[in-house]
Structure 1
Amino acid sequence: MKNLEKTKLTVELSQPGEDKTLKKNFNDVVSEPSESAVLALGETMANLAPEENELALVTETVEYSHVQDAEEITE
C-alpha cells in the first residue's frame, strides 16, 4: 500500500551577484497542489523579499511510504 507521508515546497530566490539561491521551505502543504497555487506562493515570496531578489523556481517534493498489507504477507 502506498501512503502519502508529506508534501514540501521550496521557493528559491535569485540574489544579485551570488551563484547561490535563497531557499525557503514550506512543509506539510496540501497534497497535489495546483501549479497556479505553487507559482502564486513563489511570486508572493518574491514580492516580500528585497527588490533585487527574483523568483528562480519552486520545487515540490512528495514523500511516500510503501507498506505491505497484512493479507499480502506470506509466511
Structure 2
Amino acid sequence: EVWRVPGEPVPVAEALRATYEPFTAGAYWGPAWGTTWLRARGTVPAHWAGRRVEAVFDLDFDLTQGPGGQAEGFVHTAAGE
C-alpha cells in the first residue's frame, strides 16, 4: 500500500494514521524529492512460530543508471519506532 504525502515530510504518527491506497510493483511512487510511505502487510505461517522472520525489499536502485537512486528509507513499527 502507498501514501503519497501532500507536501513536506510528516511525523511517523501521522503517517501511521494515513489512508493508504493499493500499490503494485512498478507503479509510480510520486514526484522527485516527494515523500512517499509504503506499507507492507503479510502473514507468517503458524509453523514458523518462534523463528526470526525478515522481509527483504529490493527497491532496485542502480546508481550507475542515473537519477532514481537518491532515496532513503526507514522502517517503523506500529509504535513509530
Tell me if TM exceeds 0.5. no
What TM-score comes out, normalization by structure 1 length? 0.29
Which structure is higher in strand share? 1
Which structure carries more relative contact order (alpha carbon 8 Å, separation 6+)? 1
Which structure is higher in helix share? 1
Question: Looking at CA atoms only, which structure, 1 or 2, has the larger radius of gyration?
Answer: 1
